Amino acid sequence: MATFVLVPGACHGGWCYEPLDERLRQHGHRVHTLTLTGLAERRHQLSSTVNLDTHIRDVLSFVEVERIRNAVLVGHSYGGMVLSGVADRAPERVGSLVYVDAFVPRDGDSCWTMTSDEQREWYLSVGEDGYSVPPLPFFDKRATPHPLASLLQKIRLTGDLSGFRRRDYVYATRWEGESPFAPTRRRLENDPLWKVHPLDSRHNVMRDAPDKLLEIMLDSAASLD
């Protein structure tokens, strides 16, 4: 039995993993679907001070309080930034990593520096409060504004991810134009320490390719035995 900690992407809450969390439990695993500060049911906590460090602390605090070790950490999209920060700061609590159409930063990277010009335009389309980015039209109706500071802040990492037994990268192929994650995918494809999985899916892989994603997640858990 493995413990999964599922981290959503920008504008989403733990609800985005609904197609998978119950199925993982049916396989006998523990599953924790997290919502980050300022999003979804925690949207009342959104403020100009919420940044990437806030979200990394969200997950760190959770795994520490729950005494989780050897977890399978799964992050979608922006959630990859959070995964990397958690794995760097508390490697003893992480067994394997699954990045789902996500950023995989190196020290000093940010979503802003890693993404495409089109996505940067979205980041700067802040709402009336001046510090939150509105959901894109194709997002689920439950999506809520996302703190701009978390997309601009550079991550600070002391090492790399080579110490973890398994690192999976899931890449959605059905983007209109080039995916903002294409540079990340190209970098990892040339790294023998990573398993890269192209899936015939739109960006919301949890919704559009749940069977294939479940298989990858279960394989990641099995690697911890």
Q: Catalytic: 77?
A: yes
- The span from the CA of 165 to the CA of 157, in Å, is 19
- The span from the CA of 193 to the CA of 58, in Å, is 28
Among the listed residues 47, 48, 61, 77, the single catalytic one is 77
Concatenated DSSP letters of 28-47? T-EEEE---TTSGGGGGG--
Q: Which amino acid is at 75?
A: G
Closest CA to 170 of 100, 105, 220: 100
- Contact of 168 with 96, CB cutoff 8 Å: yes
Calculate Rg over the CA atoms of the chain. Answer: 16
Strands 166-172 and 94-100 turn out to be parallel
Catalytic residues: 77
